[in-house]
Chain A
Amino acid sequence: MAISKTMVSGSMTMLLLKLLSEKDMYGYEMISTLRQRSQNVFELKAGTLYPLLHTMEEKKLLQSYEQEIQGKMRKYYSITREGRRMLSEKEAEWREYAGAVTSVLGLEG
């Protein structure tokens, strides 16, 4: 089922930070991992991902470095301390929000 763009974009920063909190990744790997773990709900386009990654890097939530893999240079991203702090905040916000929505909709938790 296609999910509303507004609902997705608000949480994308948190999702990317979550992925990077587990290990350093490059852009394509993030899109693949996100797709797999969300059972194809999140089909993030590269044209959306890279501006978001660069924005997060400018805000010092991430840092990037280049590494040679099988003769090709790849740009990896890793989460910073500030990024981890932001992730904790956003996760707390999300739990509160999700709990409230669940409660209003009368869904079982």
Chain B
Amino acid sequence: MEEYLQKVLEQIRCKQARKMVEEELRGHLEEQISDNLLEGMDRDEAVKRAVEDMGSPVETGISLDALHRPQMCWSMIILIGFISFLGIVIQTVIGKSDGTLGNSHIIRYIFHVVLGFGLMLGVYRLDYSFLGKYAKFLAGLGGLFLFLQAEFFPVSVNGANSWITLPGIGTFSISSMLYLAIPLYGGILYQYYGQGIRGIGKCLLWLLIPVYLAYRMPHLFQAGFLFLVEGVLLSYAVWKGWFQVKRGVFLGMFWGITLALPAGIAVLGVKLHWFAPYQIDRIQYYLGRLGHISGFSTEVIRENGRYDVVQFLSASYGVIAAVVVVAMVLILAMKGLHVAKKQKNQLGMMIGYAGALFFLFMTLFHIGEAAGFFPGTTSFLPFLSSGGSNLLVSYVVLGLLLSVYRYQNLLPAEQKKTVVHKRTGGFCKS
């Protein structure tokens, strides 16, 4: 039997596929052998007959090898290649238009694009299923590292202490790294699959950790963004029945509190001076003009040493240019949603949605900010804005999406789990 299996597996090049095929064929052989023994054959005869009934191992292996190859999402690779090239062109134009930025701005941007592309391809080759096993560990370790770094070894850049120095590379934004909490959260949700109301409670705690870290930096936009995206992922998991609770009740409570709480905190924060004076001014200013769309700017504005890509394009080349560029990023995000939806593996689906929603929501917030609908935030246009840290994180997240696509035929759907609750209460299903 082992010889038969080895001959089959030798024909299959993909490691993940070999494991899957071996399990299935071994199970089949064991059942056949078992039946043969019941028919009165001795062990050796039973095994020999079972193996003969399987057919040619080489032919079987070759057929399975042809079917089970890692997939490359070429459309996404081509799109990101084009967007990356476009980003270099845009930042080069920006760099040339402002003499104070100099060539170093362009060179630094190209360096980050090349490094990011390399990271993306590296992550793409990883088997993302490690997130299903180690998401909590990685999130805990990462969160602790970021917390200690920000608290005890902060590096100040432009007045913000949310940076770290990576030897040989330079400074890197801690807040950018926090965005990696989103795909990690997809893995955490998966780890609590089927654990009912307790699982949801733990998922809520894990949701709040990066939100709290962002709040402490302080990056209120990022805290809100993380809460929103992770909240949507949690809601989706609840909706899909991962936790076997009454969906309507939980979702109503969660989003009801979510919408009422920030409003309450904002009002109390202003009245009781919980926020810094500049934050209070901002809240009061923007609450006064919430929903007012000023449209994309007609003048090029430099803020904190940077130009916003959407504003620069609309001011320099018209709104259509800005819309076309933003549309490409949105297409990438929609493609990511499509990849996620196709996954039969639940972990792959959740990681896919995490990545796609990160791109989609960040782009929409950035458009809203550029159009004056939202207050000034730390949002960015994925793959096109100039911040190196955000660029690298965007490529890593895209690498995860590509990894999900790569292994879509190789990682099986999960077993249908039935969850037995020892006690029911509240909104648990009976």
Contacts and interface: CB of A to CB of B under 8 A. Distances in A.
Interface of A: 26-28, 45-48, 50-51, 54-55, 58, 63-68, 72-75
B253 to A, nearest CB: 31
Contacts of B60: 46-48, 50-51
B303 interface: no
A27 B23 CA distance: 12
Given A64-B413, A66-B415, A67-B415, A46 B55 contact: yes
A28 B28 contact: yes
Among A26, A47, A48, the most chain B Cβ lie within 10 Å of the Cβ of A47
Nearest to B344: A63
Interface of B: 8, 21, 23-25, 27-28, 31-32, 53-57, 59-60, 63-64, 67-68, 344, 409, 412-416
Given A64-B344, A64-B412, 19 more contacts: A26-B27, A27-B27, A28-B27, A45-B55, A46-B25, A47-B8, A48-B55, A50-B28, A50-B64, A51-B63, A51-B67, A54-B64, A58-B67, A58-B409, A65-B413, A65-B414, A65-B416, A66-B412, A73-B27
Contacts of A67: 415-416
Contact of B31 (A28, A50, A66): A28
Contacts of A45: 53-55
A28 to B, nearest CB: 4
A50 B414 contact: no
B22 to A, nearest CB: 11
B416 A46 contact: no
A54 B67 contact: yes
Q: What does DSSP make chain B's interface, helix, strand, loop or mixed? A: helix
Q: Which 3 A-B pairs have the closest CB atoms?
A: A47-B55, A47-B60, A45-B55
B244 to A, nearest CB: 17
Given A63-B413, A65-B415, A66-B412, A46 B21 contact: no
Nearest to A24: B416
A58 B344 CA distance: 11
21 contacts: A26-B27, A28-B27, A28-B28, A46-B28, A46-B32, A46-B60, A47-B57, A47-B60, A47-B63, A50-B21, A50-B60, A51-B60, A58-B409, A63-B413, A65-B412, A65-B416, A66-B415, A73-B23, A75-B24, A75-B27, A75-B412
A74 B414 contact: no
B330 to A, nearest CB: 27
Contact of A50 (B24, B32, B344): B24
A63 B343 CA distance: 11
A67 B415 CA distance: 5
A75 B25 CA distance: 10
A65 B68 CA distance: 17
A28 B68 CA distance: 21
A75 B57 CA distance: 20
Contacts of B28: 27-28, 46, 50
Nearest to B26: A72
B334 to A, nearest CB: 21
Contacts of A46: 25, 28, 32, 53-55, 60
Contacts of A48: 55, 60
Nearest to A45: B55
A51 B68 CA distance: 10
B410 to A, nearest CB: 11
Contact of B415 (A47, A50, A55, A73): A73
Nearest to B31: A28
Contacts of B27: 26-28, 72-75
Contacts of A74: 27
A30 B60 CA distance: 18
B54 A66 contact: no
Contacts of B31: 28
Contacts of B54: 45-47
B24 to A, nearest CB: 5
A73 B23 CA distance: 9
Contacts of B59: 47
A44 to B, nearest CB: 9
A58 to B, nearest CB: 6
Contacts of A72: 27
Contacts of B25: 46, 50
A45 B63 CA distance: 14
Contacts of A63: 344, 413
A27 B344 CA distance: 19
B52 to A, nearest CB: 9
B36 to A, nearest CB: 12
Contacts of B63: 47, 51
